[in-house]
Amino acid sequence: MRGDDIRKVVRELRSHRFTRRQAVTRLGELGLALPTIWTLLDRATALPARAAAPGRGAQGTLKLLYWQAPTIVNSHLATGTKDFHASRVVLEPLMTADTNGTFRPILAAEVPSRANGGVAADGRSVTYKLKRGIKWADGRPFTSDDVVFTYKYVSNKETGATTYGSYVNVAKVEPVDAYTVKITFTGPTPAWYLPFVGDFGNILPRHVLDPYVGSNSHNAPFNLKSFGTGPYKVETFHPGDFVIYSINEYYRDPAKPAFNQVQIKGGGDAVSAARAVFETGEYDYAWNLQVEWSVLDHMMQGGKGALLNAPGGGVEQIYCNQADPTKTVDGERASIKAPHPFLTDPKVRQAMGLALDRATIAKQLYGLTGDATANTLTIPARLSSRNTKMVFDLDEANRVLDEAGWKRGPDGIRQKGGVRLQVSFATSVNTLRQKEQTIVKDAWTKIGIETNLQTVDAGVFFSSSPGNNDTFHHFYWDTEMFTSSPSSPFPAQYMTRFYSGDPAKDIPQKANNWSGNDITRWVSKEYNSTYDAGLKELDPKKNDALWIKCNDIVVAAGVVLPLIDRKAVSARLGTLDTGSNMTPFDSETWNIADWRRTG
């Protein structure tokens, strides 16, 4: 009987109904020694040995479903994750990074280091050696001139590159020779790997885009029919609907890719996308399945697909506006000149955090796709603070508000000095998020905070249009909820969400065309100085400690209320092998040249 129980645990692990930790616990209960357990689980979760490659284009069409449709196929002008994924099918960076922040060369010949002379000891420069013999999809050679040009393109402010933030500390990029390029920084930096790495680092062909640097960037035909050094090139593109790719005949591996055509279809929602793989098998791959766990778990029983989940899906968190969105000052709503009437009170924010039952949200709504967390910074794992605690205590939340002078009125809602604790709480339209909102509203009502829920279409909420008032950047509510995650192992860009060193630039407002990142409009000298130190500290351990401290400052202030550390969740047909494609620091399509059917 014990053999049957062991096999059952293995099946549950393979189907993702058990996590590895749960499997270890259960097998221990069955009397297995720990070394035996590790050996068994390693064998159980290993991918089957790969058969010989079937040959370039031999496996027909690969169909991907993205319920948020791509709108552009030039990643440096991307407005959302789906645009990066669509662009990454054709474009490549110098390097990529896995979940742990370990680098892998793509167009670079090797990973630069101090040992091989690539990374300067003073932190002021990095030198890349490039792979030789690489060609663009039109047959032209790839050289260091293309890397230099990409910097010229992105760093020109009139280009409007959304990846600009990864290049702001670069002073110059120079070709040492045709296959060597040197990047010099404005000062010593531990983040030598920010430019040209991962999603934000794709290299562009100079011979095609040279006339489109600056204000003419959005007029380039390339934006709708791009090609690169990757395995495919764009054949047909209808923005907001679908992309069709054909093989790059000049791709460097003659045996790859396995599919002669790739299709990315947009539209629908996360639930229908999951169903199209797990139940109907209509699509080979479905991206970003933020679906309630009970629904997702039921669909998985269809047996056609396999769940892909990995750390780094981002932290689902609630942001607390430090400006009053109901007031207009000098023609501007939520102005930094109009402090919020009660969310500037740290006791109110503390109480709101104490009322959040993160464990219940994780268990009921996320299951294997997310874990409760008190941290806003969780990846790489070494940066996830152990100094914070998740505390759910309604009695303590009520005590804190009582002590702070917020008294309940006849209707149970608290008020003080004529100010009523009434919050607007917004997020994007998603059935899972609406259930999260309901749980949060119930909790805040129990501590005397009236909560009005608002939902905004995801295409509007996450829009980059300055004229759209319902974006998370405008933040015209008291609180808002969404998921955000670092795009690089170096978290500076992600943590700018709380940085206000130059409020005129860092806080989104009309004067800067809503381009700042400090969406809560929170100002903290301690945070700013810690953040600034993190940009310069060259010692890796000391640098990690500074980013952990940044996290701890934000969490302690309660200006953001972390909820769930989400996994990156997608689905593939059981017969599709995508390799190790899940990483928070690059698109899920980064290794699409290696994808193939196994049956």
Rounded Cα gap, residues 8 and 6, in angstroms:
5
**In this predicted structure, what is the pLDDT of residue 51?**
44
pLDDT of residue 52: 46
Tell how strand 305-320 and strand 479-484 pair up: antiparallel
SS3 366: helix
pLDDT beneath 50: ranges in the chain: 1, 35, 38, 45-52
Tokens coding 598: 């196994």
pLDDT at 414: 98
- pLDDT, position 463: 78
Query: What pLDDT does residue 599 have?
Result: 77
Q: Which residue has the tokens 């790969």?
A: 50
Per the structure block, which two tokens stand in for 344?
Answer: 């500037």
DSSP secondary structure letter of residue 478:
S
Q: 56: helix, coil or strand?
A: coil
Global confidence as pTM: 0.81
The tens digit of pLDDT for each residue in 391-411 reads: 999 999 999 999 999 999 999
Indicate the DSSP class of residue 48. P
Q: Among residues 102, 93, 103, which one has the least CA distance to residue 130? A: 93
Contact 68, 80 (CB under 8 A): yes
State the pairing for strand pair 125-129/180-185.
Answer: antiparallel
Tokens of 317: 């968190």
> Residue 411 and residue 423: Cα distance in Å, rounded?
16
Q: Residue 422's closest CA among 399, 400, 449, 404? A: 449
Distance of alpha carbon 519 from alpha carbon 323, whole angstroms: 10
Domains within the chain, CATH numbers bracketed = 2-45 (no CATH), 91-229 (3.90.76.10), 311-566 (3.10.105.10)
pLDDT of amino acid 513: 82
Res 14: pLDDT: 60
List, for residues 223-247, the tens digit of each pLDDT value.
999 999 999 999 999 999 999 999 9
Asked if 302 contacts 540 with a C-beta cutoff of 8 angstroms, the reply is: no
Residue 35 token pair: 């070394």
Instruction: Write down the mean pLDDT value for the chain.
Output: 92
- At CA 177, angle to CA 174 and CA 178, rounded to 5? 105
Rounded to the nearest 5 percent, the helix, strand and coil shares of the chain are: 35, 20, 45
Q: Is the peptide bond before 257 cis (omega within 30 degrees of 0)?
A: yes
- C-alpha pair distances (Å), 217 with each of 220, 230, 467: 6, 22, 20
